[in-house]
Structure 1
Amino acid sequence: MARTPTALLSPADQERRRALRTMKTIALSALLVLAAVFVVSFALQGRYPWLAYVRAAAEGGMVGALADWFAVTALFRRPLGLPIPHTAIIPNRKDEIGRTLGEFVETNFLSGDVVRTKLESTEIASRLGAWLADPAHAERVTVEASAMASGVLRALSDDDVRSVLEDLAREHLIAPAWGPPLGGWLTRVVASGAHHHAVDLAADSIAAWLEGNRASFEGLVSRRLPSWVPRVAHRFVDDTVYKEAVTFVAAVRADPDHPARHAIDGYLARLAENLQHDPATIGRLEDAKVAVFDSPRVRELAGEAWNTVKTGLLAALGDPDSGLRRRASSALSEIGERLTTDAALQRRVDTWVSDAAVFLVDRYRHDIASIITDTVERWDPAETTEKIELMVGRDLQYIRLNGTIVGALAGLAIFSIATALLGT
């Protein structure tokens, strides 16, 4: 199996590779030492009978070292390159290991009960509140949120936004009929007398206009009189019309029961009725509505409004001293303070977070766990094997050392017991 060049490994992996090589050297050295001891003791045990015990220990140690070397090596590759069954387990069963790991995580970690138990034991709202209450943290959240919002605004196509706004306007403003709802609203207004304040305001406004625009009545009626009528009569007619208008408006203002007020009530009541039930009135209103919204000038104004809003938002989001940024930071700090002091709010937030997390886990836990499975399937077998070996291989070399020591002790014990029981 080809090794990844050292230059391509991370510093941490390079350190792991050095440690792995060191442990492999130590384990191999222990095996070679035992082999040398075995050869010497085997050759001299006839002259020195006690060396038989040393030989047995060395023999058992070699057996244990070789067995554990085979077991450790078989995890990552074929020992000596031989096609021995059930070896090179990790590269050959990488995908199955990924699926098993994904199922293990899904079953034991991505469980609604597990998530709820963990979240209920964690004071999420209180901790979040304490963190947000710090002005520096609130400012940090504001800065990050502003950067994200600015990025979204810049990424939006102005034409697409205008198209969406137009579609929304047609769906929610133009398509629904205005007549019946508007007529029902006007009926309630007339029945409650809420329009009387508007009539009073109109009368006051007309009276103020009449008082400041006396000259507007000059020639208003008199210009329609025959040319032979004297100029004095012209002035008299205009003055009379002006005074009558002032008198009429004053009477309407002074008398809540004035006939003109009743006439307005009757007109509004009839209009409300027609808006709800008269097809002709409803049709005229709909035609006027469509004409207004389809006007090129209205579309142009909508586009200008979006550009103005977008430019203003970008400027406010990009300025650390803008009112929007300052109010956002202040609001976040206030929310943090409330979360640290309001027990009822803490319970609501904790419950909401737990319910939301459990819902997401129950609904998408298989999709989340499949990330593990899909990721492992995309890994290269050789690279995956090397990564795993770098992570755990050093510890596995200790198994080889332990096998060497345990084998030596077992060989010595077996030989001693056999000698004691059966003799030489």
Structure 2
Amino acid sequence: MSGPRTVVVVGAGLAGARAAEALRDGGFDGRITLIGAEPHRPYERPPLSKDYLQGRADRTSLDVRPAQWYLDNHVELQLDTLVTKIHRHAHELETAGGTRLPYDTLLLTTGARPRRLPVPGARLPGVQYLRTVDDSRQLRSALTPGSRVVIIGGGWIGLETAAAARAAGAEVTVLEHAARPLLSVLGPDLAGVFADLHTEHGVQLRCEVTVTAIRPAEGTPARAGGVVLADGTEIDADLVVVGIGVEPEVELARSCGLDVDDGILVDAHLVSSDRDILAAGDVADAFHPLLGRRIRVEHWANALHQPVVAARTILGEDAAYDRLPYFFTDQYDLGMEYTGWVDPEQDHDVVVRGDLARREFVAFWVRQGRLAAAMNVNVWDVTETLGGLIREGSPVDPAALADPAVPLDQVVRGRSASRSPGVTA
């Protein structure tokens, strides 16, 4: 077949593995090299803060593909290998060991890394982040009955870790800079659902606080023993978990002159400012045809599906990535799915159908009369319908959205409200 004969993928996570798989499924018979900085084969990250962290999933269940798959499909794995330079004009990569590898097409799936806490004591042992399988395994062993766990950051990772810590019998305090966890993402009413959930399960929430230092443990000064707040309050801790977001791994791209902003800038085909270099997954700041703007999505579904489009582009197809963002969370007895995208800086209305107090509802984000995003909490089998409404872009009736008696496929203004087979929620 015509086209590139050597494809190198830098970043051996889910996105990198999916790209290799899609290339082979698409008929690519050239050389594929998959390079990862970690010593592990590509694995799934969502269980790291969910089932794996709670001991409900074993290590092998995380693997995207077993070892034999890479052998059978002639995908060369170079693990525990750091790529330090891209020589664009020579079409070569350089590793930390000085080895140079040629490529015809390069795909960057370098992902993201946790933001570090910029306070004194943040590097003490006992301060932990959660991004890798090694992080999760270490954290799981530290979550013991009666241990005092302080979590800095009330985002999705922080709250999932809090749920896992409570399941292990730990005493948990969550520190959040905003008035409520998830406030900027969900707004005050819906953020309150998650705040109440954790409070009911024994988590101590301390909001509108600022961490100024990590205090060494008494008698063991080489280990973290507490968190100091701006008002002088000290909170004792056996373990401090930091979950204050991630930042894309763009240094490699920036150093070789690719266009970079909040991620590597790519078009809808996932091609960067260099036509022979593509990017996918957490690191890609991609133009989204449906939304009409660039977005960078840090969720599992993006790493699962976006590399398939990158592979099709490499194979010469006219492919564009226009899937709606999607993510999910599981905390205690609450399961949630979120579909769509809302710019938090733009005005929008939130409509709820169902029961917030019982935590069984669907929330709709409506902008300029059209559905932009939806979140279903303990309500299932509606994601496809919700996604269809968002993609359709027709004006919706807020009263119909709020009424559980109205099937979801009848919430569009002007559409017949006669009872017909449809999804209700």
Higher share of residues assigned strand = 2
Higher share of residues assigned helix = 1
Computing the radius of gyration from Cα coordinates, the structure with the larger value is 1
The reply to whether TM is greater than 0.5 is no
- With normalisation by structure 1, the TM-score equals 0.17
